[in-house]
Amino acid sequence: MLLHPDPQVDLCAFFIGDIMSDIESAGQQLRNTFLNASFLVPDDERKNIRPIEPVMMIGYPSGLWDEQNNRPLARRGSTASHPFLKWNGKVEFVIDAACFPGSSGSPVFLFEDLMFRTKDNAYTPGTKAQLLGILASGPLYTSEGKLIQKDIPTATSIVPVVQTMMNLGNVVHASALGDIITMVKEASIAGKSFPKAIT
């Protein structure tokens, strides 16, 4: 596993070349899609990105997935801060979506369907998905409730503290993936990784 060189960036990568080789050796075929630079928002389109944009996140919230068909879950939301500005000085932005444990590491896409904007800021029929970043964390708040216990007359009361998700998520900018990719390429050249992980 490779950690991002900046300890403030909650991002890492692990190599899957050996796993893929084992699957192929077993006569199985892995149905997947590798994301590459073509999924990023091009520089000439960034000027058209608004502070509030529709997003879609693919992942496994609370470990839920379609076990029968071996598929993750998709959730929709919107950006809560501008996706190309640094939220509180970090290489992150915030989304308004139902983010639960298990969703960390999920890709977050700018997702437009039925109609999408072109680089000229015009609309055309179709669907477009562009990678904005990777979900890393989310704020919590605590809810206090009064728990009454009976049959113990010497006890007064207990106030439990329950952590509750705020349906907000902190997303690491997709640009931070470039630093990881550089490290992976260097490790691959040095013979420390699997070339399939970066092709």
Predicted local distance difference test score (pLDDT) of residue 63:
86
pLDDT digits (tens, 9 = 90+) for 159-169: 565 667 778 89
**Mean per-residue pLDDT, 97-110:** 88
Q: How sure is the predictor about 84, in pLDDT bands with cuts at 50, 70 and 90?
A: very high
Cα–Cα distance, 189 to 176 (Å, whole number)? 21
Alpha helix (H) residue ranges in the chain:
17-25, 177-189
For tokens 């959730």, the residue is 75
Q: How sure is the predictor about 198, in pLDDT bands with cuts at 50, 70 and 90?
A: very low
What residue spans define the domains of the chain? 36-175
Share of the chain above pLDDT 70, in %: 83
Cα–Cα distance, 67 to 59 (Å, whole number)? 13
Q: Tell me the residue type at 173.
A: H
**Mean per-residue pLDDT, 37-47:** 91
- Tokens at 64, concatenated: 């839920």
Question: Contact 80/133 with Cβ under 8 angstroms?
Answer: no
More confident residue, 162 or 96: 96
Fold of the CATH domain 36-175: Thrombin, subunit H (2.40.10)
Cα–Cα distance, 118 to 12 (Å, whole number)? 32
Q: How sure is the predictor about 20, in pLDDT bands with cuts at 50, 70 and 90?
A: confident
Phi, psi for residue 45 in degrees, rounded to 5? -105, -10
Cα–Cα distance, 178 to 133 (Å, whole number)? 11
- Tokens at 84, concatenated: 């190309």
**Mean per-residue pLDDT, 79-94:** 95
- Tokens at 70, concatenated: 């071996």
Question: Contact 164/149 with Cβ under 8 angstroms?
Answer: no
Mean pLDDT (the chain, rounded): 83
- Tokens at 114, concatenated: 């039925």
Burial of 174 (0-12, 13-18, 19+ CB in 10 A): buried
Strands 12-13 and 92-96: unpaired
DSSP secondary-structure letter at 11? -
